[in-house]
């Protein structure tokens, strides 16, 4: 079947049926975890393999050819009507998670790609569709995010020496994976790939506060990730007078409250200490060494850069006042990104065509779209997050919003076909 635009009532009916299937699949994939009792899937892990095994038949039944690439990304190729070297639309998101995650962050965007090719019900478009499930966006295993999407745009080289908790480097993890997956294909994208579309839960309260199902993302805040090590002096908790201590945890605690105050006083600035460990960790031992993370976000890269400098200088000043020193390093910086205006207007049109209002949004969360966007025209559609909850087991999504997204996504496919035809100067008959 070639690409005749189907009646919108048909698309709406397809979308309603497909929404419950997508939710059931999200629940099934949530069982693929590296840590029983919570959802945790990390880069190239056994749970990630199980997700690939679960998804493969779903994609094949939909008429897609499934492979994995050498960075552990899941790749499903749905051919075009001409089945030749046609333009290609990339749809996807990530399959990895944060610790103790919800069931929709990332996964929903990959299942949306599957739902859209299924929703074509065998119809072929004048472009191919490649659905991609990125192997690592959160950076849970190595602390460095976006490994899957960076691999497909050949931007992984300067991260290869990053080490996980077991001292394994990203380079070693990749060569082990390739050795175990001789069938894995090249990571780079086809040169015929002409656009990227990512559906994702908003992970915040905005759409819910405006009673909207969908939002169209036009920009994503930049983010910095830092390591800090406060080097004090361990000592006896019972015999060391308070004034003679070099308590690394007290220094870190003082710094964290300053961090919160600095961020609270800069419009739109977010600063988070998500990880902290105190050594040696005895109840009766003054902590001598404290290691912690710092995550800083802002839509303006200059403000973010200045804020990182101020916050790290504060750590040095507090440590100096307490007679100790601190090692602080920004090890990851991802600039803020504006998405592609043509792709954004196609999303606006598709959402409206599906009968939904939407707003333009800036994403405070990072997404693979920000890694892809400098290389491909990219756009994102957000789905409402009930309670604004995410990175938490209570993360959820409404079935009617998933139906809205699938409906809008099917409209997007037809819009994208028209857009390509106009671009090539031969409007579709």
Instruction: Give me the residues that bind Mn ion (CB under 5 A), please.
Output: 105-106
Report the partner that residue 106 touches, choosing among Mn ion, ligand HGY, none (CB closer than 5 to 8 A by kind). Mn ion
Q: How far is the CB of 170 from ligand HGY (least distance, A)?
A: 17
Strand partners, 350: none
Kindly state the number of chain residues that form the binding site for ligand HGY, as judged by CB under 6 A: 5
Q: How far is the CB of 289 from ligand HGY (least distance, A)?
A: 26
* Sole window of 120-128, 137-145, 270-278, 419-427 interacting with ligand HGY (rule: CB under 6 A): 137-145
Per CB under 6 A, does 137 bind ligand HGY?
yes
Residue 184 vs 365, nearer CB to ligand HGY: 365
Q: Could you say which residues in the range 170-199 bind ligand HGY, by CB under 6 A?
A: none
Q: Which residue is nearest to ligand HGY (CB)?
A: 365
Residue 218: CB atoms within 10 Å: 20
Burial class (CB in 10 A: 0-12, 13-18, 19+), 394: exposed
Q: What is the CA radius of gyration of the chain?
A: 23
Tokens, residue 285: 């031992």
Among 96, 138, 340, 401, binds ligand HGY (CB under 6 A): 138
**CA proximity to 90, closest of 166, 190, 16, 12:** 190
Report the partner that residue 366 touches, choosing among Mn ion, ligand HGY, none (CB closer than 5 to 8 A by kind). ligand HGY
How far apart CA 206 and CA 418 sit, in angstroms, is 32
Q: Could you say which residues in the range 359-388 bind ligand HGY, by CB under 6 A?
A: 365-366
Q: How far is the CB of 371 from Mn ion (least distance, A)?
A: 12
Q: How far is the CB of 424 from Mn ion (least distance, A)?
A: 34
SS (H, E, C) 82-113: CCCCCCEEEEEEECCCCCCCCCCCCHHHHHHH
Q: Quick check: bond before 159 cis, omega within 30?
A: no
Q: How far is the CB of 144 from ligand HGY (least distance, A)?
A: 12
Contact between residue 375 and residue 365 where contact means Cβ atoms under 8 Å apart = no
Binding footprint of ligand HGY on the chain (CB under 6 A): 137-138, 145, 365-366
């Amino acid at each position: 079947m070639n690409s005749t635009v189907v009646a919108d009532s048909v698309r709406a009916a397809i979308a309603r049926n497909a929404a419950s299937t997508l939710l059931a699949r999200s629940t099934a994939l949530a069982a693929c975890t590296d840590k029983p009792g919570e959802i945790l899937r990390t880069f190239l892990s056994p749970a990630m393999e199980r997700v690939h095994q679960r998804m493969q038949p779903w994609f094949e039944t939909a008429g897609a050819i499934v492979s994995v690439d050498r960075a552990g990304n899941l790749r499903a190729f749905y051919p075009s009507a001409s089945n030749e070297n046609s333009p290609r639309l990339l749809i996807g998101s990530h399959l990895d998670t944060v610790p103790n995650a919800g069931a929709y962050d990332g996964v929903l965007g990959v299942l949306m790609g599957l739902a859209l090719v299924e929703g074509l019900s065998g119809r072929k478009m004048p472009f191919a569709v490649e659905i991609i499930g990125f192997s690592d966006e959160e950076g849970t295993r190595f602390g460095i995010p976006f490994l899957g999407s960076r691999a497909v745009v050949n931007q992984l080289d300067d991260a290869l020496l990053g080490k996980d908790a077991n001292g394994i480097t990203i380079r070693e993890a990749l060569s082990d994976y390739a050795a175990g997956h001789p069938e894995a294909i090249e990571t780079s994208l086809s040169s015929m790939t002409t656009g990227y579309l990512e559906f994702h839960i908003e992970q915040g309260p905005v759409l819910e506060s405006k009673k909207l199902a969908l939002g169209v993302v036009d920009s994503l805040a930049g983010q910095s990730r830092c390591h800090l090590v406060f080097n004090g002096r361990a000592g006896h908790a019972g015999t060391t007078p308070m004034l003679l201590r070099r308590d690394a945890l007290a220094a870190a605690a003082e710094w964290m409250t300053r961090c919160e105050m600095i961020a609270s006083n800069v419009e739109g600035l977010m600063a988070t200490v998500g990880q902290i460990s105190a050594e040696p960790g005895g109840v009766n031992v003054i902590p001598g060494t404290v290691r912690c993370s710092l995550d800083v976000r802002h839509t303006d890269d200059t403000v973010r850069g200045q804020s990182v400098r101020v916050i790290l200088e504060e750590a040095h000043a507090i440590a100096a006042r307490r007679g100790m020193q601190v090692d602080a390093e920004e090890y990851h910086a991802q600039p803020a990104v504006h998405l592609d205006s043509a792709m954004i207007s196609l999303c606006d049109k598709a959402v409206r065509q599906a009968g939904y209002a939407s707003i333009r949004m800036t994403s405070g969360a990072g997404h693979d779209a920000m890694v892809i966007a400098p290389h491909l025209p990219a756009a994102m559609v957000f789905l409402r997050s009930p309670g604004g909850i995410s990175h938490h087991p209570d993360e959820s999504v409404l079935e009617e919003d998933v139906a809205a997204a699938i409906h809008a996504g099917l409209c997007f496919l037809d819009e994208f076909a028209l857009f390509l035809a106009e671009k090539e100067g031969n409007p579709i008959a």
